[in-house]
Structure 1
Amino acid sequence: MRIHVARNGDSLWQIAQNYGSAVNQIVLLNELDNPDVLVVGQTLVIPEPGLEHVIQPGDTLWQIAQMLEVTVQELTAANNITDPSLIYAGQMLKNPYFTHIVRAGEYIWLIAQQYGASPEQIIAANDIEPPGLIFPGQTLRIPATAKPVTEVNAYTTRVDEQGVPDVLRVGRYLTYLSPFMYSITEDGSLTILSEEPVLQAAKANNVAPLLVVTNFTQSEFNSDLAAAVLRNTEAQEQLISELLEVMRAKGYAGVNFNFEYVYPEDRENYNQFLRRVVARLHPEGFLVSTALAPKETAGQEGLLYEAHDYQAHGEIADFVALMTYEWGWAGGEPWAIAPVNKVRDILDYAVTVMPRDKILMGVPLYGRDWEIPWTEGTIASTVSPKEAVQLAAVNGVAIQYDETYQSPFFRYTDETGQEHEVWFEDARSMQAKYDAVKEYGLRGVSYWALGTPFPQNWPVLQDNFNIRKY
Structure 2
Amino acid sequence: MPHEHAATDERLSLPGVLPRESAGPGTRRDSSDDRRGRRAARSQYRVAVVAVVVVATTAATVLFGGYRPWHVGSRAPAFQESVTVPYWNLAAGSQALVAHQRVVTGASPWIYAVDDRGGVISQTPVTSTGRVSDALARLEKAGIPLMPTVSNAWAGSWSRERVARIIDDPGLRARHVKALVDLASQHGFDGVDIDYEEMLAQDRAAFTAFIQQLATALHAKHKKLAVDVFAKTTNRGYDQRNVAQDYAALGAAADQIRIMAYDWHWSSSAAGPVAPVDWVGSVLRYAVTQIPRGKIILGVPTYGYDWVGTSGQLVSWVQAFELSRRHKAVVHWDNQFQSPWFTYTSATGRRHTVWFENAYSSSAKIALARSMRVGGVYLWLVGNEDDLIWKQLGPSGSASATAGGRT
Q: TM-score, normalised by structure 1?
A: 0.67
Q: Structure 1 residue 394: deviation in Å?
A: 1.8
Residue 68 of structure 1 is matched in structure 2 by none
Residue 457 of structure 1 is matched in structure 2 by 389
Match of 1:151 among 80, 95, 103: 80
Match of 2:341 among 406, 409, 412: 409
Q: Structure 1 residue 430: deviation in Å?
A: 1.9
Separation in structure 2 between the aligned mates of residue 29 and residue 437 of structure 1, nearest angstrom: 32
Q: Which residues of 2 match residues 388-399 of structure 1 at below 5 A?
A: 388-399=320-331
Separation in structure 2 between the aligned mates of residue 409 and residue 247 of structure 1, nearest angstrom: 41
Residue 87 of structure 1 is matched in structure 2 by none
Q: Partner of 1:300: helix, strand, or coil?
A: coil
Contact 2:302-2:362 within 8 A present in 1 as well: no
Match of 2:163 among 210, 215, 226: 226
Contact 1:325-1:337 within 8 A present in 2 as well: yes
Residue 366 of structure 1 is matched in structure 2 by 303
Contact 1:44-1:427 within 8 A present in 2 as well: no
Q: Partner of 2:175: helix, strand, or coil?
A: helix
Count of residue pairs brought into register by the alignment: 337
Residue 278 of structure 1 is matched in structure 2 by 215
Separation in structure 2 between the aligned mates of residue 43 and residue 389 of structure 1, nearest angstrom: 15
Q: Structure 1 residue 267: deviation in Å?
A: 0.5
Separation in structure 2 between the aligned mates of residue 231 and residue 250 of structure 1, nearest angstrom: 28
Residue 264 of structure 2 is matched in structure 1 by 327
Contact 1:45-1:427 within 8 A present in 2 as well: no
Q: Structure 1 residue 180: deviation in Å?
A: 1.2
Residue 23 of structure 1 is matched in structure 2 by none
Q: Structure 1 residue 436: deviation in Å?
A: 0.6
Q: Structure 1 residue 36: deviation in Å?
A: 7.3
Q: Partner of 1:437: helix, strand, or coil?
A: helix
Deviations 1:423-459 (A, max 9, x none): 1122321221122112210110011112223111011
Separation in structure 2 between the aligned mates of residue 33 and residue 431 of structure 1, nearest angstrom: 22
- Structure 2, unmatched stretches of 5+, are 1-33, 54-72, 124-128, 400-407
Match of 2:97 among 162, 167, 177: 167
Instruction: Give the letter aligned to residue 118 of structure 2.
Output: G
What is the percentage of aligned positions where both structures have the same residue? 25
Q: Residues 354, 30 of structure 1: CA spacing in aligned structure 2 closer, same or farther, 3 A cutoff?
A: farther
Residue 186 of structure 1 is matched in structure 2 by 116
Q: Residues 43, 250 of structure 1: CA spacing in aligned structure 2 closer, same or farther, 3 A cutoff?
A: farther
Contact 1:187-1:235 within 8 A present in 2 as well: yes
Separation in structure 1 between the aligned mates of residue 236 and residue 45 of structure 2, nearest angstrom: 47
Residue 34 of structure 1 is matched in structure 2 by 41
Contact 1:265-1:307 within 8 A present in 2 as well: yes
- Higher Cα Rg: structure 1 or 2? 1
Deviations 1:125-169 (A, max 9, x none): xxxxxxxxxxxxxxxxxxxx8543420121111465454322312
Q: Residues 453, 353 of structure 1: CA spacing in aligned structure 2 closer, same or farther, 3 A cutoff?
A: closer
Q: Which residues of 2 match residues 245-264 of structure 1 at below 5 A?
A: 245-264=182-201
Instruction: Give the letter aligned to residue 154 of structure 1.
Output: V
Q: Which residues of 2 match residues 119-134 of structure 1 at below 5 A?
A: none
Q: Partner of 1:405: helix, strand, or coil?
A: coil
Residue 379 of structure 2 is matched in structure 1 by 447
Contact 1:39-1:393 within 8 A present in 2 as well: no
Contact 1:147-1:464 within 8 A present in 2 as well: no
Q: Residues 188, 361 of structure 1: CA spacing in aligned structure 2 closer, same or farther, 3 A cutoff?
A: same
1:352 aligns with 2:289: yes
Separation in structure 1 between the aligned mates of residue 81 and residue 173 of structure 2, nearest angstrom: 29
Segment of structure 1 superposing worse, 155-164 or 305-314: 155-164
Separation in structure 2 between the aligned mates of residue 288 and residue 465 of structure 1, nearest angstrom: 28
Q: Partner of 1:422: helix, strand, or coil?
A: strand
Contact 1:168-1:205 within 8 A present in 2 as well: yes
Higher RCO (Cα < 8 Å, 6 or more apart): 2
Match of 2:107 among 165, 177, 181: 177
Q: TM-score, normalised by structure 2?
A: 0.77
Q: Which residues of 2 match residues 425-444 of structure 1 at below 5 A?
A: 425-444=357-376
Separation in structure 2 between the aligned mates of residue 36 and residue 282 of structure 1, nearest angstrom: 49
Q: Partner of 2:117: helix, strand, or coil?
A: coil
Q: Structure 1 residue 399: deviation in Å?
A: 0.8
Segment of structure 1 superposing worse, 391-400 or 291-300: 391-400
Q: Partner of 1:421: helix, strand, or coil?
A: strand
Q: Residues 29, 248 of structure 1: CA spacing in aligned structure 2 closer, same or farther, 3 A cutoff?
A: farther
Q: Structure 1 residue 40: deviation in Å?
A: 5.0
Q: Structure 1 residue 196: deviation in Å?
A: 2.1
Q: Partner of 1:209: helix, strand, or coil?
A: coil
Residue 317 of structure 1 is matched in structure 2 by 254
Residue 23 of structure 2 is matched in structure 1 by none
